[in-house]
Copies of this chain bind each other. A is one copy, B any other.
């Protein structure tokens, strides 16, 4: 990295004694002078009247190895500045601000040291500003307290409008999105001078999620914490450390994606024995319900069991033993390691209300023979993935967790997908609020106690905690592939934006790999994927996750086994990652080296426009010759009119080769590169 392209900061107290920071990238100001502080309960304002009592500085340059990841080694190289502040006055309050300045950005957190005048206190508001230098182009979704599943809008900051879209979360817009001018983080920005700025947070623990209020006139962003049922943001007892506020900055979009700031700001793994944690691919008895062919529930009559004494089956229940075995057979035959089954347990026909105890996590519907299925899966070498949908009933789930995990251990389920569809209980709490933030972590820790990997759907967006809890494999917390059935879907640029936004904090269970791209939903003929088939393959590389789903049904894969070969081959854990080219909203090309192997995989995607992706293979081993298998859009491919047109070709390549891949509108390309002489 060029010396002029290094991030640095400036800290000052203004004339009122307000702490302020600025972030520079080379000579450019990435963040103009911005105030910091808090409003606490009992009318305590920690926004001015501070004096600096001491400044400590240190620097660190170390390397660590993640249990799994995009790279096998991560360098943690930063300068640290600890500013010790004391608020003047009769009852002086101490506040420390710790900055870690990396080459590609900065993280800072507040620390309340143990002190005589502040023991236990409530955070009413955190007033951290991120003062932008101009009306930057922003890639944003609304600051909904309960959902991240919005389409991204690309607009100047001056045009942010969180109520532009209909409410997606369950509830009321005035409760879930009270601030019309607030957006979710990670927030991706691009300045007119070409500077890329990403704002998020790291290590979100015992604190509520940070969203951003946008001053549309002055382009000043202010932290806006998700309130709890009482309107509070955090309950603290000194000493206490807030999450890190992160600003990744570079004049190259690719640097934003390769930044390891978020991971570096999280604590090292707290799980000692990680031998049971293994990235993997999986199929699911899932898409067939999503598209309405079959159902999660065994019966359609809410009260059929307890009223009439027996179930009245609807005849459409997907999670029946025979169908599950059919999936196991396909997965086993085609080398997909594991299988998720949703809708296997009681009581899917009854959970959509506000009652607290929505689900039973250990009682199968009568047509799901858990013992027979787990025995069969074991014989076939397929691992079963448990599914615990809570319907948002988090207190109920906490009461049943031990029972649920013992059930998983008993039947050999080594991984778990949880879900929080619908409103949260405790009533008045939000998906992204303090209570749920801690709940998700409790679920991760509990899973670790039972050696279960976890994939959380509908949590707050991740903040790098997968470093600390490496059994936290993935989460949804964003608009996944399923929206191509739910509504008008994900526009072609969607997957070029997600890595710059949602995935900045951690892997996403996006559920790629839909091969039947049109006419998949009975009765809804206008639904289609905004993607070509080749792009669906490319997503296995561009959309990083150590758990990757092959989301389509076996029949749709059987129709394209040549293309399915890429899904079979592609790795899920990596030694190295090269962000070849990237522009949010436009295109993204990534090359990754499979962990412990010499194989490389490339994914290249484009948004609405067709393009040619030119990829120098200079990252390949100089001493080897490879066979590249290229899964490319057909000449006539187009996401809208001809999405399933693709071609597969093989060519020999070396580190001197340059690939030219043609991407159709809404298209992509996937490449597997394997050495000819192993």
- Write the residues of chain A forming the contact surface with B, with a CB cutoff of 8 angstroms: 114, 119-122, 228-230, 232, 235-239, 302-303, 307, 350, 352-356, 395, 398-399, 402, 426-429, 435, 438, 442
Contacts and interface: CB of A to CB of B under 8 A. Distances in A.
Contacts of A442: 399
A237 B442 CA distance: 30
A52 to B, nearest CB: 24
B352 A427 contact: no
Contacts of A232: 354, 427
A491 to B, nearest CB: 34
A240 to B, nearest CB: 10
Given A398-B398, A427-B228, A427-B232, A438 B307 contact: no
A567 to B, nearest CB: 40
Given A114-B307, A303-B114, A230 B427 contact: yes
A438 B426 CA distance: 13
A354 B235 contact: yes
A223 to B, nearest CB: 21
A428 B354 contact: no
What copy number does this chain have within its complex? Answer: 2
A228 to B, nearest CB: 5
A235 B428 CA distance: 14
A408 to B, nearest CB: 17
Contacts of A230: 229, 427-428
Given A229-B429, A395-B398, A427-B429, 16 more contacts: A114-B303, A120-B302, A120-B352, A120-B354, A229-B426, A229-B427, A230-B427, A230-B428, A232-B354, A232-B427, A237-B303, A395-B395, A395-B426, A395-B435, A426-B427, A426-B429
15 contacts: A119-B302, A120-B302, A121-B353, A122-B354, A228-B427, A229-B229, A230-B428, A232-B354, A235-B356, A237-B355, A356-B435, A356-B438, A395-B395, A426-B429, A427-B429
7 closest A-B pairs by beta carbon, nearest first, are A229-B428, A120-B353, A426-B426, A229-B229, A235-B354, A428-B428, A230-B427
**Which among A229, A235, A307, A427 has the highest number of chain B CB atoms within 10 Å?**
A427
B428 A228 contact: yes
A353 B119 CA distance: 9
A1 to B, nearest CB: 40
Nearest to A41: B354
Contacts of A355: 120, 235-237
A138 B502 CA distance: 61
Nearest to A122: B354
Contacts of A354: 120, 122, 232, 235
A119 B435 CA distance: 29
Contacts of A237: 302-303, 350, 353, 355
Nearest to A399: B398
Contacts of A302: 119-120, 237
A119 B121 CA distance: 43
A307 B427 CA distance: 35
Contacts of A303: 114, 119, 237-239
A305 to B, nearest CB: 12
Contacts of A239: 303, 307
Nearest to A396: B398
Contacts of A228: 427-428
Nearest to A438: B356
Nearest to A307: B114
Contact of A426 (B119, B235, B435): B435
A423 to B, nearest CB: 9
A210 B399 CA distance: 27
A239 B307 CA distance: 8
Contacts of A399: 398-399, 442
Contacts of A114: 303, 307
A534 B3 CA distance: 89
A114 B238 CA distance: 53
A466 to B, nearest CB: 23
Contacts of A398: 395, 398-399
Contacts of A395: 395, 398, 426, 435
A416 to B, nearest CB: 18
A236 B550 CA distance: 39
Nearest to A403: B402
Contacts of A352: 120
Contacts of A353: 119-121, 235, 237
A432 to B, nearest CB: 15
A180 B269 CA distance: 54
A438 B356 CA distance: 10
A180 B230 CA distance: 22
Contacts of A122: 354
Contacts of A238: 303
A236 to B, nearest CB: 8
A238 B355 CA distance: 12
A39 to B, nearest CB: 16
**Which among A121, A235, A237, A354 has the highest number of chain B CB atoms within 10 Å?**
A354
